């Protein structure tokens, strides 16, 4: 099983779609093993978006992600990174397919509602930025035997 990082950004919390995002994650069969609502300070924002430092949009990313509360999650499941990326949809909501979170709720790339790790390495790094190991809970969903073959 993989773990990945997913975050409902300030525009998603302001628009009241946190429950919809959680619902889609759980309906897909993924397991939320850690979750918290929080405000991100500038230091954490810069570490989170560190790979974009020096790019023209870096300051805007930091400003936006610190503009309101977010809901950070650790999501677990088989191929969780790829499954979450498929649920989220393309970075630009105009290119995201119907049925994806961004495709159903977004219009502008700068307000694309959710962040999801794009690789296992990114997931590990992002999880460690937002959660301590003690905050990640191990448990079994009652439907896991029906979700996966072997």
DSSP letters spanning 91-135: SSGGGSPTTSHHHHH---GGG--EEE-SSHHHHHHHHHHH--GGG
Joined together, the tokens standing for residue 136 give: 């990640």
Which of 115, 116, 123, 127 is labelled catalytic?
115
Torsions phi, psi of 112, nearest 5?
-100, 20
Name the nearest CA neighbour of 96 among 109, 79, 83, 84.
109
Q: Residue holding tokens 């989220």?
A: 88
Q: Is 52 an active-site residue?
A: no
Joined together, the tokens standing for residue 118 give: 């794009």
Report how far residue 84's alpha carbon sits from residue 53's, in angstroms, rounded to the nearest whole number: 25
List the catalytic residues. Answer: 115
């Amino acid at each position: 099983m993989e773990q990945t990082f997913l975050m409902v950004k300030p525009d998603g919390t302001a628009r009241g779609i946190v429950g919809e995002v959680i619902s889609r994650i759980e309906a897909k069969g993924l397991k939320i093993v850690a979750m918290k609502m929080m405000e991100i300070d500038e230091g954490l924002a810069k570490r989170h978006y560190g790979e974009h430092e020096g790019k023209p949009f870096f300051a805007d990313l930091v400003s936006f992600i610190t503009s309101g509360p977010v809901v950070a999650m650790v999501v677990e499941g088989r191929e969780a990174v790829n499954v979450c990326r498929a649920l989220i949809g393309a970075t630009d909501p105009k290119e995201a397919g119907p049925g994806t979170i961004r495709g159903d709720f977004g219009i502008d790339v700068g307000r694309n509602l959710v962040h999801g790790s794009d690789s296992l390495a990114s997931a590990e790094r992002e999880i460690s930025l937002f959660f301590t190991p003690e905050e990640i809970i191990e448990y079994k969903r009652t439907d896991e035997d029906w979700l996966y073959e072997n």
